[in-house]
Amino acid sequence: MLRIRIFLLAILLFSFYINGCSQKPKATFTVKHTPLKNFCGINAFEWDFEDGANSMGLDSTRLNLIKNFTCVRHYMDWDKFEPEEDHYTFSPVRSGGWNYDTIYTWCKAQNIEVLACMKGCPSWLQHSYPVDERDAENVPVRYKSDFSNPESYIEQARAAFQYTARYGNNKSVDPKLIHVDATPRWTADPINQVRIGLGLINYIECDNERDKWWKGDKAHQTGREYAANLSAFYDGNKNKMGPGIGVKNADPSMKVVMCGLAKADPDYVKDMIAWCRENRGTRPDGSVDLPWDVINYHYYCNDADSKGNHQTSGIAPETSPAGPIADDFVAMAHENAKDMPVWITEAGYDLNQESVQKATGINDKTNEQTEADWILRSSLLYSRCGIQKVFYYELNDDNDKSGTKYATSGFVNHNTKTRRPSADYLYQTTQLFGNYTFQASVSSDPIVDRYRYNDKQMFVLAIPDQKGRTTSYQLSTGNADSAYIYTPVPNGDHMALIKKKIVQSKVEVNISETPCFVTTYYIAP
């Protein structure tokens, strides 16, 4: 009997070792947080700024909608500014006649940060493929090129140099390296001119979702292949590809953002880093020489299983894996990339109830109000986790009648040029609390987070689920006389405000799934 007990104890101890002791404890480190305004970005296109009937000028009704957001991810087709190889057009672009100079100048004047997402495979590069394999989402190389060789991406890296030379901050680029097509399309057509160092763009993204497995081999890159791509895009593979190649050779201050990953998997980035360690080596401080400055992924909260199957609906962010995934990316950046910033450049929900990404009304809330709750709580969740910037998908619906996933993810009503509640909530939050930065979580259910801006403190409170649950919470506020409770409302510019007396350093706050913000001082709307 004793032998049996000893044997069982040995098994137990071995199991404990395998499942516990052999696992490294999760490293603790200081997470960097950024102001709430960084979590109110939007994806947009040229036609969200300009009317196609007068594409050289800005449209004030469209601009009024863009003003509701603090940063814009410009979904920019490479084909537009290089419609023919080595023929660059920006103002106007040859395809559609859009005026990039004017769009970016206006954004800078409005303090709206632009992330230029240079995406796609231009038509002239597609023509190197057999007719039945041409696709704008092909890996941007000539047909049968080696995806693992940085030299294969020279055309894209050259275009990135031209774009950066124009819109970056370096005014000393050699004009002999700049190629602009000054040919007019018709009589009195505006002429493209060489312009250098306009100082309008600080971030450029190298393509979009290059891990697109659903498009087949011609459109999918492994992490190692995409790292080779970035090595060319970043600095011409450490300046081995000749003059006029790569972003950093046009403007060393321009930040390169890796493509938003369709599958939010930190291991893909680890594979990228492994390629760089082998092929680019290390910097003087011993860190791997990485050819990008921002880690980037996409995540849409829904009820799909762990393999991405069986999706039927969008879900509240706190009930999804969004938080743990964000934590994993931030930890990976700390452990492998010197705390490189992590962004999310696509997130959101659909309104059409046939979509598997839909937000559905809860109790007396409409679908739009539920979507607004989940969007704002997504921003708060990512702020808490240490993500540094979020761009939602997208400004306008692709098709407001369609049940296709992502077709009704818009934040505004195209026909009336008005905000939806999701945009109302982000706008109202930015106006009052955009400069506040996350400090600590006081409670997880209900959510009670503490923020600070200079010497001012603010709390945000919300219920983290989708059941229509409400509760009250005794919030410790200190020795102030009164508390001011701000709650976002649909169809308005200003949050609702309730002033309550503080009793014995606490105030009772009624909490719902719509976040509310509590201060001990009045903030004028």
Which burial class, exposed, middle or buried, applies to 271 when counting CB atoms under 10 A from its CB (0-12, 13-18, 19+)?
Answer: middle
SS3 140: coil
Where in the sequence is the domain holding 461, given as residue range(s)?
A: 441-519
328-365: per-residue pLDDT in tens?
A: 999 999 999 999 999 999 999 999 999 999 999 999 99
| Contact yes or no for 296/342 (Cβ under 8 A) | yes
> Cα(65)–Cα(508) distance, rounded to whole angstroms?
36
Instruction: Tell me if 3 is assigned to some domain.
Output: no
E strands present in 197-252: 203-206
| Contact yes or no for 420/413 (Cβ under 8 A) | yes
The pLDDT assigned to 2 comes to 41
Domain boundary among 410, 437, 464: 437
Residue 328 and residue 445 in one domain? no
What percent of the chain stands above pLDDT 90? 91
Mean pLDDT along residues 228-251: 98
Domain boundary among 394, 415, 437: 437
Residue 321 and residue 457 in one domain? no
Instruction: Tell me if 472 is assigned to some domain.
Output: yes
- Nearest CA to 209 among 81, 382, 393, 49? 393
Residue 332 and residue 296 in one domain? yes
Residue 446 and residue 352 in one domain? no
pLDDT confidence bin for 25, thresholds 50/70/90: very low
Residue 417 and residue 478 in one domain? no
- Side chain identity, residue 433: F
120-176: per-residue pLDDT in tens?
A: 999 999 999 999 999 999 999 999 999 999 999 999 999 999 999 999 999 999 999
> Cα(150)–Cα(233) distance, rounded to whole angstroms?
9
| Contact yes or no for 370/360 (Cβ under 8 A) | yes
Domain boundary among 437, 453, 469: 437
Residue 387 and residue 448 in one domain? no
Instruction: Tell me if 4 is assigned to some domain.
Output: no
The pLDDT assigned to 491 comes to 96
CATH number of the domain where residue 235 is located: 3.20.20.80
The pLDDT assigned to 307 comes to 81
Q: Is 394 left (phi over 0), alpha (psi -120 to 50) or beta?
A: beta
pLDDT confidence bin for 71, thresholds 50/70/90: very high
Instruction: Tell me if 284 is assigned to some domain.
Output: yes
> Residue 9: is its pLDDT beyond 50?
no
Residue 114 and residue 243 in one domain? yes
When the pLDDT of each residue in the chain is averaged and rounded to a whole number, the result is: 94
pLDDT confidence bin for 3, thresholds 50/70/90: very low
Residue 339 and residue 421 in one domain? yes
SS3 260: coil
Instruction: Tell me if 16 is assigned to some domain.
Output: no
> Cα(420)–Cα(463) distance, rounded to whole angstroms?
22
The pLDDT assigned to 13 comes to 37
Least confident of 3-12, 140-149, 492-501, 502-511: 3-12
| Contact yes or no for 240/304 (Cβ under 8 A) | no
CATH number of the domain where residue 476 is located: 2.60.40
> Cα(40)–Cα(68) distance, rounded to whole angstroms?
9
Angle between helices 266-279 and 223-239 (to 10 degrees): 40
> Cα(433)–Cα(522) distance, rounded to whole angstroms?
12
Q: Which two three-digit tokens encode residue 73? A: 């991810």
Q: How would DSSP label each residue in 316-377?
A: -GGGSTHHHHHHHHHHHHHHHSTT--EEEEE---B-STTSTTB----TT--HHHHHHHHHHH
Instruction: Tell me if 349 is assigned to some domain.
Output: yes
SS3 273: helix
Q: How many CB atoms neighbour CB 478 within 10 A?
A: 9
Q: How would DSSP label each residue in 381-429?
A: HHHHHT--EEEES-SS-S-TT--STTTT--SEETTTTEE-HHHHHHHHH
pTM of the model: 0.94
Residue 253 and residue 382 in one domain? yes
Residue 92 and residue 114 in one domain? yes
Residue 149 and residue 227 in one domain? yes
CA 410 remoteness from chain centre: 15
Residue 172 and residue 288 in one domain? yes
Number of folded domains that form the chain: 2
Contacts of residue 298, defined as CB under 8 A and 6 or more positions apart, other chains included, come to 209, 260, 261, 262, 264, 344, 345, 346, 347
Instruction: Tell me if 189 is assigned to some domain.
Output: yes
pLDDT confidence bin for 524, thresholds 50/70/90: confident
Mean pLDDT along residues 30-59: 95
Instruction: Tell me if 2 is assigned to some domain.
Output: no
| Contact yes or no for 495/488 (Cβ under 8 A) | yes
Question: How many helices (H) and strands (E) would you count in the chain?
Answer: 11, 18
